[in-house]
Chain A
Amino acid sequence: MGLRRLALLGAAIVSAGIIAATTAEAQNEQFIPGLVYRTGAYAPNGIPFADGVADYIAMLNARDGGINGVKITFEECETGYATDRGVECYERLKGKGPTGASYFSPLSTGITFALTEKAPGDKIPLITMGYGRADSRDGAVFEWNFPLLGTYWTAANVAIQHIAKEMGGFDKLKGKKIALLYHDSPYGKEPIAALEVMAKKYGFDFLPIPVPAPGSEQKSQWLQIRQQKPDYVLLWGWGVMNSAAVTEAGNVNYPRDHMIGVWWSGAEPDVIPAGEKAAGYKALMLQHPAGKFAVYADLEKFVIGPGKSLAKPDEIGSVLYNRGLINSMLGTESIRTAMAKFGNKPMTGEQVRWGIEHLDLTAERIKQLGFEGMIGPIKVSCADHEGTRLSRVHQWDGKKWNIISDWYTADDAVIEPLVKETAGKYATEKKITPRDCSKES
Chain B
Amino acid sequence: MFYREAGQYKASYQSDQAIFPIAQDRIAMLALLVVAFVGVPLLASEYVYRAVLIPVVILSLAAIGLNVLMGYCGQVSLGSGAFMGIGAYAAYNLAIRLPFLNPFVCVLLGGFVSAAVGIAFGVPSLRIKGFYLACATLAAQFFADWAFLRIKWITNDTPSGSVNAPPLQLMGFDLSSPTANYLVSLVFTLVLGLAAKNIVRGHVGRQWMAIRDMDIAAEIIGVRPMYAKLTAFAVSSFLIGVAGALWAFVYLGSWEPAAFDIDRSFQLMFMVIIGGLGSILGSVLGAAFIVLLPIFLNQALPPFGALFDWKISTATVSNFESMIFGALIVFFLVVEPNGLARLWSVAKEKLRLWPFPH
Contact with B along A76-88 (1 / 0, CB 8 A): 1110101110011
A39 to B263, CA, bound (A): 15
Whether the pair B259, A84 counts as a contact (CB closer than 8 A) is yes
Q: How far is the CB of B267 from chain A (nearest CB, A)?
A: 10
Q: Which residues of the other chain, B, contact A189 by a CB distance below 8 angstroms? A: 159-161
- The residue of chain B having its C-beta at the shortest distance from the C-beta of A196 within the complex is B159
B124 within 8 A of partner (CB): no
| B315 interfacial contact with A, CB 8 Å | yes
Decide if A190 is an interface residue (CB 8 Å cutoff).
yes
Instruction: Give every chain A residue within 8 A of B162 (Cβ-Cβ).
Output: 110, 113, 186
Contact of B47 with A114 in the complex, beta carbons under 8 Å: no
CA of A61 to CA of B254, assembled, Å: 36
Given contacts A110-B162, A184-B149, contact A116 B254 (CB under 8 A): yes
Query: Is the CB of A193 closer than 8 A to any CB of chain B?
Result: yes
Say whether B319 contacts A39, CB under 8 Å: yes
Complex Cα gap A109–B256 (Å): 11
Q: State whether B256 touches A110 (Cβ < 8 A).
A: yes
Q: B198: which A residues are within 8 A, CB to CB?
A: none
* Cα(A403)–Cα(B164), bound, Å: 40
Q: Besides A39-B315, A186-B162, A212-B145, 4 other CB < 8 A contacts? A: A83-B258, A109-B160, A113-B160, A213-B258
Complex Cα gap A88–B319 (Å): 18
In the complex, A185 Cα to B161 Cα: how many Å?
A: 7
Whether, in the assembled complex, B46 has its beta carbon less than 8 Å from a beta carbon of chain A, the answer is: yes
A434 at interface by CB-CB < 8 Å: no
Bound together, the chains give a CA A212 to CA B318 distance in angstroms of 24
Residues of the B chain whose Cβ atoms lie less than 8 Å from the Cβ of A422? 159
Please tell me if the beta carbons of A84 and B252 are within 8 angstroms of each other in the complex.
yes
Q: How large is the interface on A (under 10, 10 to 19, 20 to 34, 35 or more residues)?
A: 35 or more
B255 contacts A83, CB within 8 Å?
A: yes
B254 A114 Cβ-Cβ under 8 A: yes
Give the contacts of A85-113 with B (CB-CB under 8 A): 87-88, 91-92, 95, 109-110, 113
**A210 at interface, CB cutoff 8 A:** yes
A123 within 8 A of B: no
For this complex, 23 residue pairs linking A to B, each with C-beta atoms less than 8 Å apart, are A38-B313, A38-B314, A38-B315, A38-B318, A47-B315, A76-B314, A77-B298, A77-B314, A78-B318, A80-B318, A83-B252, A84-B252, A87-B251, A91-B46, A95-B46, A113-B254, A114-B253, A114-B254, A118-B253, A186-B161, A189-B160, A192-B159, A429-B164
Interface string of A228-245 (1 = CB under 8 A from B): 000000000000000000
Minimal Cβ-Cβ distance residue in B for A214: B258
Query: For the side of the interface on B, what is the size category?
Result: 20 to 34
Nearest-CB residue, chain A, relative to B313: A38
A88 to B51, CA, bound (A): 6
Does B50 touch A at the CB level, under 8 Å?
Answer: yes
Closest beta carbon of chain B to A163's beta carbon, Å: 22
Q: Give which listed residue, A38, A117, A186, contacts B164 with CB less than 8 A.
A: A117
Q: Which residue of B146, B160, B295, B314 is within 8 Å of A36 (Cβ)?
A: B314
A43 within 8 A of B: yes
Whether B50 pairs with A91 at a CB distance below 8 angstroms is yes
Q: How far is the CA of A82 from the CA of B252 in the complex (A)?
A: 12
Q: Which residues of B contact A212 (CB under 8 A)?
A: 145-146, 149
Closest approach, in angstroms, between the C-beta of B259 and any C-beta of chain A? 6
**How far does the Cβ of B154 sit from chain A's closest Cβ, in whole Å?**
14
Give, as a whole number of angstroms, the nearest-CB distance from B187 to chain A. Answer: 22
Expressed in whole angstroms, the Cα–Cα distance for A109 and B47 within the complex equals 23
Q: Does A133 contact B (CB under 8 A)?
A: yes
- The answer to whether B317 has its CB under 8 Å from any CB of chain A is yes
For the complex formed, measure the closest distance between the CB of B338 and the CB atoms of chain A, giving whole angstroms: 29
Which B residues touch A193, using CB under 8 A? 159
Contact of A133 among B160, B164, B253 (CB under 8 A): B160
Which one of A47, A76, A91 lies within 8 Å of B47 (CB-CB)?
A91
A430 to B166, CA, bound (A): 9
With A83-B258, A84-B252, A114-B253 known as contacts, the answer to whether A78 contacts B317 (CB < 8 A) is yes
The answer to whether B256 touches A113 (Cβ under 8 A) is: yes
The CA-CA distance from A98 to B254 in the complex, in Å, is: 29
Closest 7 CB pairs of A and B: A38-B315, A78-B314, A186-B160, A91-B50, A39-B318, A113-B162, A186-B162
Bitwise, B53-78 to A at CB < 8 A (1) or not (0) is: 00000000000000000000000000
Q: Which of A192-224 contact B (CB under 8 A)?
A: 192-193, 210, 212-213
Are the C-beta atoms of A83 and B256 separated by less than 8 Å? Answer: yes
| Whole-angstrom distance between the Cβ of B84 and the nearest chain A Cβ | 12
Shortest beta-carbon distance, A282 to chain B, in Å?
Answer: 26
In the complex, what distance in Å separates the CA atom of A373 from the CA atom of B254? Answer: 39
| Complex: chain A residue closest to B145, CB-CB | A212
Give the contacts of B130-165 with A (CB-CB under 8 A).
145-146, 149, 159-162, 164
Complex CA gap A352/B256 in Å reads 29
The smallest beta-carbon distance between A321 and chain B, in angstroms, is 16
Return the chain B residue nearest A118 by Cβ: B253
In angstroms, Cα B252 to Cα A186, docked, is 16
Give bound CA distance, A301 to B50, whole Å.
42
Q: What residues of chain A lie closer than 8 Å to B256, measured between beta carbons? A: 83, 110, 113, 185-186
Q: Which residues of B contact A36 (CB under 8 A)?
A: 314
Q: How far apart are the CA atoms of A184 and B149 in the complex, in Å?
A: 8
Residue of B nearest to A88 (CB): B51
